[in-house]
Structure 1
């Protein structure tokens, strides 16, 4: 059995500061509770971040795909299903992620920097497409979310 102190999931949080520059911060989900999903299912560690309306979509980035500087269309959780991709923020940080990695795209408040870059740049890495699962959240509630919001 996993002890509460070790029930955690790491993720990258892409966010915009008060000047509109974007950054990536490594965070952890840590507010897990031992509970059953119902019926005769054994208890497991769950961290219910939110409930309500969301959009679930899957994307496949072709080999060599590059998404030049842009912001996430909505606050969104992104999980790599297969392949690899990168996300580069305007502070120069480039994070590479692979299967099972998790990120939160919350750069909707980004502003152009001196070079005209806004938000982030992303792309597929390697010789195979990168498949992503994306859960988009309500921008009226989740835009501007900073690291540490999700526990």
Structure 2
């Protein structure tokens, strides 16, 4: 990325369609402004801020951990800090992610189909997956892939 070029930060969006089926779409954060966080620091690219009541936590998935089919408890950003993990949506797509890759889990309001509801997730490989989770207090959207463009 050149110094004057706006960033494009990729992320996966796990979302629910009108029929209650979860999907994953590759999206990008693109709304950035070049400004200082606090003078006299030099300007840096800053994305949109959300001040909605949020909960921030770190969770550790042990080696071999697999979470059976479930929905995210709230719309939430999931950022792997170390290790690798996967997310499988109801449509059968499986995405594996590691440090530096981002997922937005918004699969609430799914409808159970063939024993699947929401998503499955779990650890990949021979090390635990350490994830930072930022949960939103606002309700989820439906049929809105890439809502953080």
Contact 1:23 1:91 in 2 (8 A): yes
- Cα distance, 1:109 vs structure 2: 1.4
1:144 lines up with 2:145 in the alignment: no
- Aligned-pair Cα RMSD in Å: 1.3
Q: Which residue of 2 aligns with 1:95?
A: 95
For 1:29 and 1:93, locate their aligned partners in 2 and report how far apart those are by CA, in whole Å.
22
Instruction: Specify the SS of the correspondent of 1:109.
Output: coil
- Cα distance, 1:139 vs structure 2: 3.8
Structure 1: which 5+ runs fail to align?
none
Q: Which is further off, 26-35 or 41-50?
A: 41-50
For 2:3 and 2:48, locate their aligned partners in 1 and report how far apart those are by CA, in whole Å.
17
Q: Which residue of 1 aligns with 2:17?
A: 17
Aligned length: 148
1:30 lines up with 2:35 in the alignment: no
Contact 2:83 2:99 in 1 (8 A): yes
Structure 2: which 5+ runs fail to align?
none
* TM-score, structure 2 as length reference: 0.94
Q: Which residue of 1 aligns with 2:4?
A: 3
